[in-house]
Amino acid sequence: MYSPEKVGARFLADWITGQKPRGPEMSDAPTFDRNLENALDAKRESMSLVTRIKAIWKMGDGIDLSSNDMLSLGSSGKIRAAFLNELARNPDFPLYAGGSRLMDGNYDYVEETEQMIADFHKAKTGLIMNSGYNANLAIYSSLPLADDVNVYDELVHMSVFDGMDLSAAKTKVAFRHNDIESLRQTLRNILDNYPRVRDASNTVLISVESVYSVDGDVCPLREMVTVAREVCSKGNFAFIVDEAHATGVIGPKGSGLVNSLGMEEDVAIRLHTCGKALASSGAIILGNSTVRAALLNYAHPIIYTTAPPFHSVAGMRAAYDLLSSGATHDSQNRVQHLVKHFFQAITANPIWAKASAMGILFIPVMGEDWKDKDTYTHIVPVWTRQEYTWWLLFHLLLAHISAQPVDYPSVPKGKSRIRIIFHAANEEKQVEYLADTLCDFAREMIEIEESGETGRVPRAAQQVYVLMQGTA
């Protein structure tokens, strides 16, 4: 179907070229530039320097199994049409906001859109931000107060960590990922060691994601809220739920996990982003009027930046118009179908059972009960032995499959995996090709291991090592 020709090889060649050390060439450069290049060489040495290369699906006929366009609103042109229609309804729109939200940057359209989105999610109020990253900086830099305690799932997004670094609440405690008992023990320890939390003078803020971007699993939110009520019996806890990877994909009309569970009153703050499944940009923080007022008065990412301009807000509004009208319903169901189809295809392959038993290929998020699940997420991490992770990536790229490695520091050392993201526009034959390609890799690695040949590497890795020699 897809022959491993030029696109994957060109992508890898460009990436390898970017890993060539530059520090030795910088002896006559300004000290500032030379020191920066020496620092970058540390990443080049581990072949982890981020370069300006494009994903292979943007370079030719590669299969997009990596981008965040899960509902394919971007690739199909649906969001563009909705956006242009929204602009046509407002022909005199300005390109600028005019200042920060606290000065000249507030305007009717942004407030109307905030309330429209809040109503969609059954929230009291909303506050639009330029990005999800800035939204988390705003939340954690302004809402946790001194002597409050930040408790968080160990796999929350890096923006949460960066936000907590700015928080007045200096105590930060992680619990094991999606582990109810770990959360319970963490909360008990906090009550034992922090008198102001024990007497309910201060609050425990509990941060989770509805769908985790690196594992593709779903937060057991209802059980976590139950545990928090049991341990913090005075009610001095507040949940912050990042719905970035659930927006558009999970829940009725893509409204997210909280709406799906009917837990709007149990969660203090929700973050929804529009740059993933909604194929636009921006984010919105949902909460009550107190949360909104605190953000406007204390969050530097709001106070000291220009407000979102009209066209950015119009993109968000267009996306939510598609959600609320039911126009994305079929795409949402299509993603579910494709993930299940992938699980069916890969488990039907004759090599799967052996590869999985040997640890050469395994998919934790699938679980043994995948046939009985009602809901699948679009994110499917594929694991192999840690020393094989990059070989697996090379194998996929040279087969024209665009996938992304997830490595340290996004995950702990020794926990690398390849992340697959399914899209509504993917075809069944592409999903089957992915399953076959993964199993081809597993078959080759089993053959290598059973041969006992020391130093033997798979064919895709051989091709990449030749490219490395050519750019040395």
**CA-to-CA separations, 346 to 343, 382, 434, in angstroms, rounded:** 5, 11, 9
The mean pLDDT of the chain is: 93
- Asked if the model's pLDDT at residue 365 lies above 80, the reply is yes
Q: Residue 241: which H helix or E strand, with range?
A: strand 237-242
6 pLDDT band, cuts 50/70/90, is low
pLDDT at site 372: 86
Read off the pLDDT of residues 190-220 as tens digits, 9 standing for 90 and up. Answer: 999 999 999 999 999 999 999 999 899 999 9
For 458, residues 6+ apart whose C-beta sits below 8 A from its C-beta are 391, 395, 441, 444, 445, 448
**CA–CA gap between residue 361 and residue 351 (Å, rounded):** 10
Residue, of 122 and 368, whose pLDDT is higher? 122
Read off the pLDDT of residues 52-102 as tens digits, 9 standing for 90 and up. Answer: 777 878 877 789 999 999 999 999 999 999 999 999 999 999 999 999 999
**CA–CA gap between residue 148 and residue 163 (Å, rounded):** 15
- Asked if the model's pLDDT at residue 272 lies above 70, the reply is yes
* 8 A C-beta contact, residue 71 and residue 249: yes
- Asked if the model's pLDDT at residue 351 lies above 70, the reply is yes
1 pLDDT band, cuts 50/70/90, is very low
Residue, of 7 and 248, whose pLDDT is higher? 248
pLDDT at site 471: 56
**CA-to-CA separations, 355 to 269, 396, 398, in angstroms, rounded:** 43, 17, 21
pLDDT at site 4: 44
**CA-to-CA separations, 101 to 87, 108, 280, 317, in angstroms, rounded:** 22, 12, 21, 18
Q: In this structure, what DSSP letter does residue 107 have?
A: -
Q: ∠370-374-376 over CA atoms, to 5°?
A: 65
Q: In this structure, what DSSP letter does residue 218 have?
A: B
Give the pLDDT mean for 118-140: 98
The residue type found at 145 is L
Least confidently predicted of 129-133, 180-184, 464-468: 464-468
Q: Which two tokens mark 230?
A: 């049991």
Q: In this structure, what DSSP letter does residue 266 have?
A: G
Share of the chain above pLDDT 70, in %: 98
For 360, half-sphere exposure in the C-beta direction (CA atoms, 13 angstrom radius) is 20
Least confidently predicted of 27-41, 123-137, 420-434: 27-41
**CA–CA gap between residue 126 and residue 136 (Å, rounded):** 14
Residue, of 55 and 438, whose pLDDT is higher? 438
Which residue, 65, 5, 9, 69, is CA-closest to 430? 65
181 pLDDT band, cuts 50/70/90, is very high
**CA–CA gap between residue 387 and residue 407 (Å, rounded):** 12
Angle separating helix axes 6-18 and 459-471, nearest 10 degrees: 50
Which residue, 377, 376, 429, 424, is CA-closest to 400? 429
